[in-house]
Amino acid sequence: MGNMEGLFDARRVAIIGTSRDRGKAGGMIFENLKRYDLELFPVNPKFEKIRDRRCYPSLKDIESDVDLAVICLPAQMVPGALEECVKKRVKHAVVIAGGFSEIGNKGLEEKLKEIIKGSETRLLGPNTLGIYIPEVIDTTFLSVERCKRPGKGSIALITQSGATATVLMDSCSLYNIGFSAFIGIGNRADINENELSDYFSNDKETKAIALYLESFADAKEFLKIVDRMDKPIIVLKAGRSKEGSRAALSHTGSLAESSDKVVEGVFKQHGIVKALDEVELIDYAKALAYSEPLYGDRIAILTSAGGPGIIATDYLQEYGLCLAKLKEETKKRLKEIALPSASIENPVDLTASLTNEDWKSALNILLKAEEADAILALTFFQPLGVDGTLIETLKGKAQKPIVSVSIGSEYTFNVLKKYEELKLPAYPSIERGLKALYILAERGKFLRKKLNSPNE
C-alpha cells in the first residue's frame, strides 16, 4: 500500500507528450489541466512554447520537483518516459496509452513494473483514462463540450473501463449527481482497486464507493479491505457470462476467474452490493451515500395517484419488502389533514387535488408512525396544487429512510436535479425507487448481522 495522497493533491504536473492539437490526447489533457490551480510543465522537444507556456524538451529539464506526470506517448515510448519519472522521483505517473497486456503485449507491461520496482514512483494504468477530482484536477483526454464533468459529491467511482467512466460522468453531470473522485485503473500494472478502495474508505468526502471491474487484482485482499471498512461498496462485475469473460480478456487483459454465482455469494457474505449494469451502479451508490440503512421491511407509500401506488405495491413483494399496516391512530391523523376523497390506507393516496401543505402534513405523520420503517414518496408535479419547493421538506428528515420517485418531463427533470443538490435519493421510475429501498434494506440486514457477530 503506497501513499495515494500525492495522486489526488498533486500541485506540480508534467504532461509528457503535450500537443498543440486539442484532437490529440496530450493536447486535450493540457487544456483540461489548465482549468485548475496547478503548476503545469508541458514536455515535448518539438516546441519551445505551447499556448504561451514554456515547453520543456524533457522531464529532466524541469527545474522544480514534479508531483504527477501524465504520459501521453505511444506505448513503445512509455518505458523511456517512465524511467525519467523514476530518476526525477516523480511521485505518481499516469500512463494513458493502450497497447499493453490488453492486446497480448504483456512483456511491455512487465517492463513498466520493473522500471518502478523499488522506486518512489507509483504507476496508474497503463490504458487508463486517468483521474478526475472535482475542483482539483482532471487528467482525462475528454473535451468538456462532449463529456460534461460531475460536480463535487460523495461517490467515488473506480473503474477499469474508460468508456464506462465516460458515459457515467457525462450522464451523472446531467442530473447533478456529484463525485468525490473518479479513478481509471486501466490495466492496473501497479495501483489497483484494493488500495484505492482502502484510501476512499477513509476519505471524509466519500460516502459510497462504486467500482466497475472485469476481474479482481487480488480478491482475498479486496475482501479483507471491505471487511474493515464501514462505508458501503457497490461493484459492477462485468464478464459474468463466458462470452463476457472472453470480452473482458481482450479489453484490459483481465480474465474473470470465478463464476457469477460464486461472486454473488461472496459479495453477499461480505456486504458488497452487486450491480448488474451502469444504471444500478449509480442508483445504488446514491441511495447508500444519501440515506441511512433501512432496518426493517415495512414501507409506507405516499402518492397523489392510485395507479402508481398499486404498481409500487406490486413491486414490494418482488424485492422482499411489504406494505406497512398503518395503525388506527396514524389513519385518524391522516384523515384529519386529507381531502374526503383521499385514501388513508397504505398506499396513502392524497389524490391529484392535493396541495404542498397536504403532502408535507401527510409526510410528517408517516415519519412519526412507528409501524413504518421507510417511506416511498411517489411525488408527481403534474397536479396544479404542488410544485418543486415541497422537496425542501425532505431535507434533514433523519427519522427513517425516504426514497422519492418523480416521473415526468422538463419540470420534473429540474426537480430531480434539485434532489441531487440536497443529497436526497430520488429516481425517475417506480422500479428504480423500489430497488433503492431494497438495497438500503440489504445494507441494514448486513450491518445488523455484523453487529451481532461474536468477532465484532
- Residues 247-305 have pLDDT tens digits of 544 545 444 456 788 889 999 999 999 999 999 999 999 999 999 999 999 999 999 99
Instruction: Answer whether residue 137 is part of any domain.
Output: no
Same domain, 285 and 301: no
Domain with residue 84: its CATH number is 3.40.50.720
Instruction: Answer whether residue 84 is part of any domain.
Output: yes
3-state SS of 323-335 is ECCCCHHHHHHHH
Single out the residue in 249, 264, 290 at which a domain terminates. Answer: 290
Same domain, 5 and 71: yes
Domain with residue 277: its CATH number is 3.40.50.261
Q: Residue 402 and residue 375: Cα distance in Å, rounded? A: 5
Same domain, 327 and 415: yes
Instruction: Answer whether residue 395 is part of any domain.
Output: yes
SS3 assignment, position 404: strand
Contact call for residues 247 and 196 (beta carbons, < 8 A): no
Counting the structural domains of the chain, the total is 3
Same domain, 419 and 339: yes
Same domain, 160 and 253: yes
Cis peptide before 347 (omega within 30 of 0): yes
Same domain, 300 and 277: no
pLDDT by 10s per residue, the chain, length 456: 457 878 999 999 999 999 999 999 999 999 999 999 999 999 999 999 998 899 999 999 999 999 999 999 999 999 999 999 999 999 999 999 999 999 999 999 999 999 999 999 999 999 999 999 999 999 999 999 999 999 999 999 999 999 999 999 999 999 999 999 999 999 999 999 999 999 999 999 999 999 999 999 999 999 999 999 999 999 999 976 555 455 544 545 444 456 788 889 999 999 999 999 999 999 999 999 999 999 999 999 999 999 999 999 999 999 999 999 999 999 999 999 999 999 999 999 999 999 999 999 999 999 999 999 999 999 999 999 999 999 998 887 778 999 999 999 999 999 999 999 999 999 999 999 999 999 999 999 999 999 886 655
Same domain, 12 and 80: yes
Domain that holds residue 159: 147-290
Same domain, 111 and 155: no
Q: What is the pLDDT of residues 373-399, one digit of tens each?
A: 999 999 999 999 999 999 998 887 778
Q: Residue 398 and residue 125: Cα distance in Å, rounded? A: 41
302, 297, 318, 291: which is closest to 397 by C-alpha? 291
Whole-structure pTM value: 0.94
Same domain, 309 and 239: no
